[in-house]
Structure 1
Amino acid sequence: MKKSNITLKELSKILGVSISTISKALNDSPEISHDTKIKVKELAALHNYQPNVLARNLKSGTTKTIAVVLPTVKNNFFTEVLLGIETEIVKTDYNIIISITNESFEKEAQSVNNLSNGIVDGFILSTSEETQVKQNFNHLTAAIDNNKPIVMFDRVIKTIESDKVLEDNREAVYKATNYLLKSGKKHIAIASTINNITVGKSRTAGYKKALEEFGITLNENDIITGSQDSIKSEVDHYLKTNKPDAFIGLDEDATLSALKSVKQKNYNIPQEVAVVGYANQNIAPHLTPELTTIDQNGIEIGRTIVKLLIDRLKNPTKPYEKVVLPSILCKRLSS
């Protein structure tokens, strides 16, 4: 029966040679004779020897591991980004560790601080809502000071010097609002559960810009905000005294809540009230009516993040980059 987890030291004792000789033989060093290599490799196979990759990488000054710190996976966008990261990381000799902060500053800071201590070479990170509200970024600057580069995406911190990957949030909602206005809609409301973070603020700015260009006076009552749990009731409350002819959801929860509320009021979609927003691109075509969505291009964002971080690890002194990827308006029957 094969012995598992045998060490280099144990192999060296069995063959009566040094640990260095065993290691060099397993790595096909030209310093070791062909016969010795054969003996070492046969014995290693017999005992199911597995190299300690972490120890080897630490010895070389690298762990070949990247931490991916996400605020949530309930949002389909982050799931798509993770898929893009995985698609690109398999092309390299790196592995990933995933940490989900659940929008907690404390969990985010704990994860970054713990993983910075020699466990990972760098970070892919989107900040939690609490981190943005608290405006406390000490854990991020400490990691960078500890030579652990960070590529930030989606929810980025402008004051942190790092590579960044963004989708064109402001422009995406500007285009969606513009599209509705050009189609004849005049009273457009927006719903959001992300008004506390930079992404939500950028999307709201895009909405305001389009209204201004069309000469429409902004009514603050048309900006409906709430938590994931409360946004549906907030939209319901708004519709009791308001009749917009279009809704834009600035995130998935707000979009689906707006769609549900409008349907429950028995408004004809899109003739009476059009609905546009962010939602799972696999689900949107199967809703009734098919939902017009803003595709954030999450898979491409994930792939781009990995490329930037690997390049940063190879070239730590190169200038920081900010990459902005376009979102796509997928027009369907709800608008």
Structure 2
Amino acid sequence: MSSFRSLSRRCAPILTAILTILYGLVLGCLPAAAQGGPQAGTQPGTQTRIQNTATLSFDDAASDSGLRSVPSNTVTLDVNRAKRPTTLTFHLPPPNYELTGAQCQTTSSFLFTPAPIDAATFAASPWVAAIDIYADMILVLDNQAGNHDPDARETAIIAVEVGTIRTTLTLTETAVDSGIFAGGIPAAATGKHPELAACDIRSMRGAAIKLSFVEDGYSLASMASLLIDPAGYTFDSRTGALVDGSTVSLVDETGQPATVFGDDGVSRYPSTVVTGEAVTDASGRLYPGETGRYRFPLTAPGRYFLKVAPPGTYTAPSTVDRATLAALKDPQGRPFILNDTSFGGSLTLSTPEPFSADVPLDSPGAGTLLLTK
């Protein structure tokens, strides 16, 4: 028995030392043990350096000092960090929510600062597949790897392209440690924000707005696009004045009402509307009426026609030549969007994209030559 106890006393320090070394090696593999930065020549954030130094602790019975500790050499291992995906999306503010805090700077340099969005507002903001120039919108970047400081609301930069216009926007994290970056864009077309009109990136009706996030050392790139203002006007073919009260129906190639969805891409939307009047989709979302405008936000791929019943003595399709119509301007001061659909022709959609077409209406005497003696 005494021999066994003596052996145990001699082996215990060795066993303790082995367990300590193993424990140190395991700890060295955990992220908490990571130290230092990336190797020279690597992209920032793509590597994590793990350093480990094991310690041998034992009870030296032959020494007056008792417990002794001996450190090992330091082992260093560089591990590649996997980049995380990102997504860009478009949202509408919650009903009756007013975006505040947006700023437009045009002197010395162009700079637009979107309105900050908090976590509660973002949670109540529905995703949209189409956007209207008369609707406020929220741009959202989900970038979890961009959440570097868990105690601060950080920012992220995205690129924006609309036609020939290219700029950048700074989005702010919705809350500390959320990894969701968002910015509100008030609709200057409503006239409620004249101070922001010069910075409105949606001023090109019928164009597409393209967002992009550039890949960095922590996150992968992402892109998103959306057609601006999937709608049209009915207007006087002689004066360009917008005309309310036109009944506009979207029908398929068999003449049956088309299946139309609202901005969220899910809720059913009426296939017949009246220009200038408000519309409500199946979700209860209200689309305010604007002078002379109609909207059919989203439809499935297929071949369609617009059936237009003008008010009063107006007639359609117009017989005025396109060169004359091209000289007329829409409310944004740009030429009306004219295509075959504007004159009763078909429209073929190969993808579930919104479309834009303005419809000229002839008043009595339009397009005719009057001779007097």
TM-score by length of 2: 0.25
Q: Considering fraction of residues, name the structure with more strand.
A: 2
Report which structure shows greater RCO (CA 8 Å, sep ≥6): 1
Structure number with larger C-alpha Rg:
2
TM-score by length of 1: 0.27
